[in-house]
A and B are shown apart, each in its own frame.
Chain A
Amino acid sequence: EAQVTQNPRYLITVTGKKLTVTCSQNMNHEYMSWYRQDPGLGLRQIYYSMNVEVTDKGDVPEGYKVSRKEKRNFPLILESPSPNQTSLYFCASSPNPSSGGAGFGRYTDTQYFGPGTRLTVL
């Protein structure tokens, strides 16, 4: 089954204790992205990656790191979590426009989301 998986689904931690949220997709997508969801704010992009070893900041990157060593994995790293990073986190993936071999006609721009990771930082 084509899917995006995240682990853990729920995490309670304390301020300053480094943590990693993993994201993996089995659809051979080049593009991956992390969002956080907060009440009344919708989802905001943290980081994104166009392909292996290519990452860049989104709208709210402060306090986060990412890496993209393999195509399928895009972990989100919080080196020193703080309470304001308590949130619901979503990973997403999508094929790039240049892939698929048929140009714009195959470019759907659909992003596939994981089930979410609810993080609480005390």
Chain B
Amino acid sequence: AQSVTQLDSQVPVFEEAPVELRCNYSSSVSVYLFWYVQYPNQGLQLLLKYLSGSTLVKGINGFEAEFNKSQTSFHLRKPSVHISDTAEYFCAVSDRTGRRALTFGSGTRLQVQP
């Protein structure tokens, strides 16, 4: 079984400032890692994912994340945020089995202020 912990439920930040959203996971097997974004009243959109290879993953909208196996973390970063980045961000893991169930964290609400 897997679990995902997003350490911050809300992150307020000023526009053009850098931001890091933290994600730690627990699993007894190898996993795939994902970050999804949910804009108000919309479904989930994939930001980026780590399947294998380079531990630094670049995604859409200028976001990137780094997989750290020893710390079982997959933190999301952006060097300069925009008002339009205000949304809820979900970290998720998939256990690579046929069930392909995504185990999600509880989400982090990013609030970008002018």
Which A residues form the contact surface with B (CB < 8 A)? 4, 31, 33, 35, 40-45, 48, 50, 56, 58-59, 90, 92, 94, 107-116
Contact = CB atoms under 8 A, between A and B. Distances in A.
Nearest to B1: A59
Contact of A42 (B94, B99, B104): B104
27 contacts: A4-B43, A33-B100, A33-B101, A35-B102, A42-B92, A42-B106, A45-B99, A45-B102, A48-B99, A48-B101, A50-B98, A56-B99, A58-B99, A58-B101, A59-B101, A90-B43, A92-B102, A107-B51, A108-B49, A108-B51, A109-B32, A109-B51, A109-B94, A110-B46, A112-B46, A113-B43, A115-B43
Contact of B100 (A43, A94, A112, A113): A94
A22 B108 CA distance: 29
Contacts of B104: 42-44
Given A40-B106, A42-B90, A111 B99 contact: no
Contacts, number: 59
Given A56-B99, A92-B102, A112-B46, 13 more contacts: A4-B43, A42-B4, A42-B106, A43-B44, A48-B101, A59-B101, A90-B44, A94-B100, A109-B32, A110-B49, A111-B46, A113-B36, A116-B43
